[in-house]
Amino acid sequence: MIISSGSVIIVLLVSIVVITTISTQTFMNTASAVATNTNNTSSPSHTMNIRSNIQTDFNPNATYPKISKFAYIDPFALVIGDCEIGKLVLVAPFAVCRGDEGIPIHVGDYSNMQDGVILHSLETTSHGKSLDDRRYSAEGVLLKANDTGFKNGFAIYIGDKVSLAHGVQVHGPAYIGNDTFVGMKSMIFNAKIGKRVAIGVSSTITDGITIPDNKFVPPGTIITTQAQADALPSRIGSPYEAINSAVLHVNQELAKGYNAQTIQRLATEMEDTLEQEEMLQTGSSTGNPDAGVAGGQ
């Protein structure tokens, strides 16, 4: 069978239109979920990229994410289940907050999840029973199952003004204190990171250790003992001393800018819809019932 070049071009054009339509619809669904609620958090979303978890024996409740209306969730990011996203948080393309196993996951105000960041955690309960050492309090205390604060704890707690750079993986139980920078391709699992810490690119921190406040983790460092953590140099005077301030500024500006685009687009669509409805009601191409009558008579 011979296929003409014209037929191939038509098929390609149809494919492009379909893909563009799907991408646009995904963007608008996400924008609507983030920007249409007057409360501080968005209403439950039924979009593909913002949705509830499924019910399991370790997580029997289906929970929708709690997202500040001032956060920006990229259409190609995923926020699933019991995730809390604070204000002016940027969740960049292909970043994932998956609150469907260990829950809840908290991302504080003014923080950012850059491209490819993954947040996920070990289960915090099993068959209705809480599990030891699977949640942190908001103050950074690792909780036992019988602790009265366990029910209010977090499988992953990301504080305020935290930068998770491209490709970072944080797997709970994990805690990251305020104003901390985590460099590209780094991994944190079963660990607590203090406040104002700077973690160099491609570092690994695990095995239940705690990084004290104001420390610098040089690029490529693997930390598996508390002695290694305690011996780390100060962030002050390190090459990463001021990196988080600059990164926070950029990502907060992006979050505000993308939200402005979303709100403007929604406003334009609402105006167009109202205009179309008025034209239908009046039978006039302008929406003015007297437009077709000479002299307005």
Which residues are known catalytic residues? 101, 123
* Nearest by Cα to 256 from 133, 10, 90: 90
* Nearest by Cα to 49 from 69, 35, 31, 61: 31
* Nearest by Cα to 136 from 152, 123, 119, 153: 153
What sign results for the dihedral spanned by CA atoms 283, 286, 290, 291?
Answer: negative
Q: How many CB atoms lie within 10 A of CB 209?
A: 18
What sign results for the dihedral spanned by CA atoms 225, 126, 138, 69?
Answer: positive
Q: What angle do CA 278, 280, 281 make, to 5 degrees?
A: 65
Separation of alpha carbons 258 and 269, rounded Å:
17
Q: How many CB atoms lie within 10 A of CB 24?
A: 11
Partners of 19 in the β-ladder: none
Separation of alpha carbons 274 and 203, rounded Å:
54
Residue 71 main-chain phi, psi, to 5 deg: -85, 160
